[in-house]
Amino acid sequence: MTDKLQTFIVEDNHTIRENLTAMLEELTPVEAQGFAVSQHEALDWLHSNQDGWRLLIVDLFLQSGTGLGVIEAVGPIQPDQHIVILSNYVEDDIRQRSAQLGVSAVFDKSRDIEKLIDFCNELAST
């Protein structure tokens, strides 16, 4: 049996966030612990819940602040914690910067949803 994958989502678009959460909870062991729409909100939650997540899904463009700002400021993470980017803007420079920051994967919202589902299922089984 696969354990639930405690996940925090940083996405400012309500419709995308709700659809993403519903889809991941239906098709993967993801269990959403909460969400944030801004860099400040995300960091508040993450600093208060350092051990309360295994997967952090981050969009790059937020109501205020940026997804990269969240990733840079989250600080050191545990070996069993993973950060992924899910964005419409996944150019080579973003992939390169993400790798430097220790991001596990970068997914394009318009093309890589199945890859994100596979990633979540694989992560939950480890």
State which residues form the domain around 54.
Answer: 5-124
CB 24 within 8 A of CB 123: no
Instruction: Choose among 52, 47, 7: nearest CA to 25.
Output: 7
Structure tokens at 114: 């199945």
Amino acid at 108: D
Total domains in the fold of the chain: 1
According to DSSP, residue 77 is labeled -
Instruction: Choose among 109, 107, 104: nearest CA to 123.
Output: 104
Cβ burial, residue 14 (10 Å; 0-12/13-18/19+): exposed
Residue tagged 């394009």 (tokens):
108
Strand order in the sheet with 105-108: 30-36, 5-10, 55-58, 82-87, 105-108
What's the predicted TM-score (pTM) here? 0.96
Three-state SS for 54? coil
pLDDT for position 2:
61
How many H helices and E strands in the chain? 5, 5
pLDDT for position 1:
46
Query: Per-residue pLDDT for the chain (126 aa), expressed as one digit of tens each?
Result: 468 999 999 999 999 999 999 999 999 999 999 999 999 999 999 999 999 999 999 999 999 999 999 999 998 899 999 999 999 999 999 999 999 999 999 999 999 999 999 999 999 998
According to DSSP, residue 34 is labeled E
pLDDT for position 76:
84
CATH number at 18 reads 3.40.50.2300
Residue tagged 């419709």 (tokens):
15
